[in-house]
Amino acid sequence: MQQEITPIAVRPWTLNGISERMLVSHYENNYGGAVRTLNAVRADLAALDAGAPGYRLRALKREEIIAMGSVTLHELYFGNLGGEGNKVPDHAVDAAPVLVLDMYEHAYHMDFGANATAYIDAFMRNIEWAAVIHRMDAVRADRSLPLEDPSDKSLPSLSVEELAAQLAKGEPVQVLDARPRHHISRTVDLMEGAIWRDPDRVDEWIGELAVDRPVAVYCAYGFHVGCSVTKTLRERGFDARYIRGGISAWYATGGSRALRPDAG
């Protein structure tokens, strides 16, 4: 079974002392790399025939377990960020919270260099204790840990893997980049095949879309902007769906990108 990318659980621009740039790089490159590795190993396992030597199977299963651990721990790490970590609830102090701190250098070197202590201090300021306690409650009740997926369930959506499959089949999907102008101005690329339109000026460009073709809308991380544009398009009669995790999740899967027409 192929592992799907989980949308980043924290709003990267809201953290105290941890930059959006570093966190997004961590998510797209390191977490995304772990998911891609896991899927590659599983593809190799699926391709083994009955006559494959035992050592080959054992080696692949070892690699699968390592990659699964990396994927799970990264998802928990992002999921327990985004709060005010210094405000520790009284009932969390005596518990054993399921809390993940990534101490590999890739998690902090971009902001902190070799100063791991400063990174730990910043991490502690950003712990989302509600998520930690939610996990602990699940453990105590012998339930599976909750999924670290912040996606809006009230609107129709697509995973980046589902969108990639549609595009690979040649389905006539209109892919709309709805990142805010202040965000798109800091980048030079977008999803290959997408067009960028200002999410604050929907009325000016909505007539460019074909109403008889589905629309896939993405923003940076799959939070409110993409959802807002999707909701507006649906109210105007379009079969619009937002992309869970936004363009960041697309990049984490290794999805193709193209230079913005006005960035060359």
Q: Could you tell me if residue 148 is inside a domain?
A: no
Q: Which domain holds residue 174?
A: 157-259
Q: Are residues 118 and 31 in the same domain?
A: yes
How does pLDDT run across 39-74, given as a tens digit for each residue? Answer: 999 999 999 988 889 999 999 999 999 999 999 999
Q: Could you tell me if residue 246 is inside a domain?
A: yes
Mean pLDDT, residues 2-21: 94
User: For residues 156 and 159, what is the distance between their CA atoms, to the nearest angstrom?
Assistant: 10
Q: Are residues 115 and 58 in the same domain?
A: yes
End residue of a domain, out of 140, 169, 204: 140
Q: Are residues 117 and 202 in the same domain?
A: no
Q: Could you tell me if residue 238 is inside a domain?
A: yes
Q: Are residues 124 and 72 in the same domain?
A: yes
Q: Are residues 21 and 126 in the same domain?
A: yes
pLDDT at 241 over 50: yes
Q: Are residues 161 and 132 in the same domain?
A: no
What are 46's two structure tokens?
Answer: 């699926």
Q: Give residue 263's pLDDT band: very low, low, confident or very high (50, 70, 90).
A: low
Q: Which residues pair with 27 in a beta bridge?
A: none
pLDDT of 152: 77
Q: Could you tell me if residue 150 is inside a domain?
A: no
End residue of a domain, out of 140, 168, 199: 140
pLDDT of 98: 80
pLDDT of 93: 47
Number of domains composing the chain: 2
Check which CATH number belongs to the domain holding 234 and give it: 3.40.250.10
Of the candidates 182, 183, 163, the residue with the CA atom closest to the CA atom of residue 173: 163
Q: Could you tell me if residue 18 is inside a domain?
A: yes
Of the candidates 74, 80, 5, 46, the residue with the CA atom closest to the CA atom of residue 252: 5
Q: Are residues 103 and 17 in the same domain?
A: yes
Contact by Cβ (8 Å): 202, 178: no
How does pLDDT run across 76-121, given as a tens digit for each residue? Answer: 999 999 887 666 565 554 454 588 999 999 999 999 999 999 999 9
End residue of a domain, out of 105, 140, 175: 140
How does pLDDT run across 179-229, given as a tens digit for each residue? Answer: 999 999 899 999 999 999 999 999 999 999 999 999 999 999 998 899 999
The pTM assigned to this predicted structure is 0.84
Q: Could you tell me if residue 255 is inside a domain?
A: yes
Which residue do the tokens 């009740």 mark?
141
pLDDT of 90: 58
Q: Give residue 135's pLDDT band: very low, low, confident or very high (50, 70, 90).
A: confident
Q: Are residues 19 and 135 in the same domain?
A: yes
Higher pLDDT, 57 or 146: 57
User: For residues 26 and 47, what is the distance between their CA atoms, to the nearest angstrom?
Assistant: 30
Mean pLDDT, residues 176-180: 96
Q: Could you tell me if residue 185 is inside a domain?
A: yes
Q: Give residue 154's pLDDT band: very low, low, confident or very high (50, 70, 90).
A: confident
Q: Give residue 1's pLDDT band: very low, low, confident or very high (50, 70, 90).
A: confident
Question: What DSSP line would sit under the chain, residue for residue?
Answer: -PPPPPPPSS-GGG-SSS-HHHHHHIIIIIIHHHHHHHHHHHHHHHH--TT--HHHHHHHHHHHHHHHHHHHHHHHHHHTBSS-TTS--HHHHTS--------SGGGTHHHHTT-HHHHHHHHHHTB-HHHHHHHHHHHHTT-PPPP-----TTS-EE-HHHHHHHHHTT---EEEE---HHHHTT-SEEETT-EE--TT-HHHHGGGS-TTS-EEEE-SSSSHHHHHHHHHHHHTT--EEEETTHHHHHHHTT--EEE-TT--
Of the candidates 134, 19, 16, 138, the residue with the CA atom closest to the CA atom of residue 86: 16
Q: Are residues 183 and 250 in the same domain?
A: yes
pLDDT of 230: 97
Q: Are residues 87 and 206 in the same domain?
A: no
pLDDT of 100: 92
Q: Are residues 114 and 203 in the same domain?
A: no
Residue type for position 148: E
Calculate Rg over the CA atoms of the chain: 20
pLDDT of 209: 96
Q: Could you tell me if residue 197 is inside a domain?
A: yes
Q: Are residues 99 and 174 in the same domain?
A: no
User: For residues 247 and 176, what is the distance between their CA atoms, to the nearest angstrom?
Assistant: 11
List the single range of 14-18, 60-64, 152-156 with lowest mean pLDDT. Answer: 152-156
